[in-house]
Amino acid sequence: MKKNILLLLLLFLNYEVFCQTHFHRDTTINVSENGITFKNAWASGLNSTQFNEIDLDLDGKKDLIVFDKSGNKILPYLNKNGEFVFAPDFRQSFPDLHDWVILADYNCDGKNDIYTYSTGGVAIYENTSSSSLSFSLVTNLVLSDYGGPNPINIYISAVDIPAVSDVDYDGDLDILTFKITGGFIEFHKNMAMETIGSCDTVLFELSESCWGNFYEGLNNYTLNCQNCQCPPIINHPNAKQKHAGSTLLAIDIDNDYDKDIVLGDISFSNLNLLINGGDSTSANMISVDSMFPQNNSNTIPASMDIFPAAYYLDLTDDGIKDLIVTSNSENNSENFTSCWLFNNSGSNSNIDLNFYQNNFLQNDMIDLGSGSYPTFFDHNNDGLLDIVVGNYGYHQSGGNPSSSLALFENTGTLNEPKFNLINRDWQNISSINLNINLNIPALNLCPTFGDLDGDLDEDMILGDANGKLHFFENTGSNPSNFILSEVEYKNIDVGYFASPQIVDLNRDGLLDIIIGEQSGTINYCENTGSLSNPIFDTIVEYFGGIDIESNIISSGFSTPKFYDNNGSFELYTGSFSGQTYVFDNIDNNLFGTFDSLTILNLKEGGKNMIAIKDINNDQKPDLLIGNYSGGLSFFSSDSSIVSHNSFSSINELNIYPNPTNRFLNIDNKASGELLIINSLGKTILRKEKSSQKITLDLKEIDSGLYLIKIEGHTTKLIVQ
């Protein structure tokens, strides 16, 4: 034991001060559930996904790009001997992409280029890779000859997915898209081969206004459309006033050298296969299969609650293209089992699709449905920080999502954390009717922890989508147990999407509450009461003069987290776009304007929220980011640091009485996270401390020799 004590003293005689913090992605921390380790735990979740293939590392093999329109997020995967491995570094090679993405080789050089949404049309980026992956903008709007005096941009809605394919089999890529009013498909023929005899140009004309000779109504089809008045559709009895959204996949399903269509629509849950009974130059849809891809050996058709989309690429690494079906809806559709893989057990010319799984890639990552709002909390008082994550919820067809808390227990060590997802509905929060107006559970739960009743354990506050807070008292110790104490705590209401943090911001020894909200501003609720009876009578709005992304969108979705960086607060906040903003100049300036320090452009998805703590005991902050796709990303810091000998600072940590048999006073100016560490190096108590005097009740701590550490200050403690 003496050897261990000496070692601890030597370790704490030197401490590190942060000068500048830089974060780098860390995917090495192990996460498991039910004894199975997530292969790509920190891949950040999937909701509304689009699948494409491309050679990322230029090794001659097709890798995978997953684009999640929920937050416009790119997830690259390397093909490692048939297993897809998350490779986020390749994100930096891609331009900013929005709404929809199709990878296809427009210039016939063997490298897939990018087609993507751009201002009511389509932009093209050329794959210019040589020694590494790179892209160059070809055009920000693809024009087509509509028969007028000048070409105009091909209209493609942000909610649609067009088909980019060699429809007429002449060697260049054409575009199929719905008319602006819907119902009919336009065929924009690529004239490159006809004009210059090469693919390497962008030259389109509107060849057909009613390609396939059919009309799509509200989950019904009119084939052989002689009476459809095609075009225009204004006199069609079933004409829509506005095009709501459709997805198109052009493939030759029956191997007869013409393009059939797999069509999804926002108005129905099934995919429809339209069989082309014409030819490559004159399409004519003759039948509709609303149970696609059901066949004789497969009794499961594709089914999304709303707005299905289909993609055709090799996902099993056997050289044969498979079908994957997802939802093109950002909201109100599957968000946990939303990647349906149908394995092609036939061939590319003789397609035989069979259902394989409904959570492709999702089962290999942390995915909590929609929304992931993390915070650190030691739920079992073992000195190791666990992770509690709130969410917007898991989709429920025909009903509200089910919001809950997930508990990731830290089963590692103080220096090497690892996590086990032990409960997706921790404390059974999903069954508690926190929405008292409707007498139903609340949505969009954001947790935070702190001792608000002065009993030396941390209580819980949940923010919700209605802008309310709910107080849960901690009545346990090992593990913690929470009971609902006050619905709509202190009548605090910030409008919508309350994102709280409990923190002693003014360093007066009393815990305050900071709350983000949908508008993008931040609210400060100062505690003017006492340790056991907090009072929050005043809410300071526009705190720090912050209005996140006010110039971009009307709803910034601020999610503030204050972090005490060596005695000075820094503010981190997520946003609607997924950017993480950092501010300082906070201490002694609580009613002024904070300084914008930097923007962490980490591209983890929209409506992000961060949690920040040192979870591996390296004296450097770690960053956990949740997002609206329901996943988590983890970042360690490689801060520029300066070492200081702290012999002089040991005496600045004034504790008394020492030895003590129960109560301990700590009377120094240091603030931040206070640790009590036993002779084995295990943290047995962890508590946030302000710059003021505090008193600890050590009745649960055994007699012995301990170390107390806070912000570089370290001293011995004897408990009798």
pLDDT of 712 strictly over 80: no
Tens of pLDDT, residue by residue over 293-319, are 987 677 789 988 889 999 999 999 999
CA distance 96 to 81: 29
The predicted model gives 340-365 an average pLDDT of: 94
Between CA 218 and CA 268 the distance in angstroms is: 8
How confident is the model at residue 703, as a pLDDT? 80
Percent of the residues in the chain that have a pLDDT greater than 70, as a whole number: 89
Per-residue pLDDT tens digits for 532-578: 999 999 999 999 999 998 765 558 999 999 999 888 999 999 999 99
Average pLDDT of the segment spanning 15-33: 74
- Say how far apart CA 292 and CA 304 lie, in whole Å: 12
Can you tell me which residue has the tokens 């493939």? Answer: 251
Query: Cα-flanking dihedrals φ and ψ of residue 226, to 5°?
Result: -65, -30
In angstroms, the Cα distances linking 381 to 32, 396, 412, 450 are: 21, 35, 14, 14
Model confidence at 674: pLDDT above 60: yes
pLDDT at 231: 60
- CA dist list (Å): 49 to 249, 311, 324, 326: 15, 10, 10, 6
User: What is the predicted pLDDT for the residue at 243?
Assistant: 58
Tokens standing for 17?
């001060």
- Rounded percentage of the chain residues whose pLDDT exceeds 90: 69
What does the alpha-carbon distance between residue 455 and residue 474 come to, in Å, rounded to a whole number?
9
487 or 663: whose pLDDT is higher?
487
Phi-psi group of 137: left, alpha or beta (phi > 0 → left; psi -120 to 50 → alpha; rest → beta): beta
Report the range out of 30-34, 266-270, 577-581, 636-640 with the highest average pLDDT: 30-34
Residue 237: per-residue pLDDT: 38
pLDDT digits (tens, 9 = 90+) for 49-94: 999 999 999 999 999 999 999 889 999 999 998 899 999 999 999 9
In this predicted structure, which of 70-84, 231-245, 397-411, 442-456 has the lowest mean pLDDT? 231-245
Q: How many residues does this entry show for the chain? A: 720
Please list the helix, strand and coil fractions of the chain in percent, rounded to the nearest 5, in that order: 5, 40, 55
Residue carrying structure tokens 């699948």: 51
Residue-level pLDDT at 14: 32
DSSP letters, 22-47, are: -EEE---S-EEETTEE-TTTTS-B-S
What is the edge-to-edge ordering of all strands in the sheet holding 31-33? 36-37, 31-33, 419-423, 405-410, 386-390, 373-377
Check whether 440 has a pLDDT greater than 50: yes
Please give the average per-residue pLDDT across 189-199, as a whole number: 94
Distance CA(430)–CA(445), nearest Å, equals 10
User: Which of residues 199 and 664 earns the better pLDDT score?
Assistant: 199
pLDDT over 90 at 108, yes or no: yes
Cis peptide before 149 (omega within 30 of 0): no
Task: DSSP letter for 498, please.
Answer: -
Instruction: Give the pLDDT mean for 185-199.
Output: 94
Question: In this model, does residue 97 exceed pLDDT 70?
Answer: yes
User: pTM of the full predicted structure?
Assistant: 0.84
- C-alpha distances (whole Å) from 132 to each of 90, 95, 128, 200, 644 are 10, 15, 9, 21, 43
Query: How high is the mean pLDDT of the chain?
Result: 88
Instruction: Using alpha carbons, select from 720, 698, 681 the residue that is nearest to residue 6.
Output: 681
Q: What is the distance between the alpha carbons of residues 341 and 284, in angstroms, rounded to a whole number?
A: 29
Is it the case that residue 469 has pLDDT exceeding 80?
yes
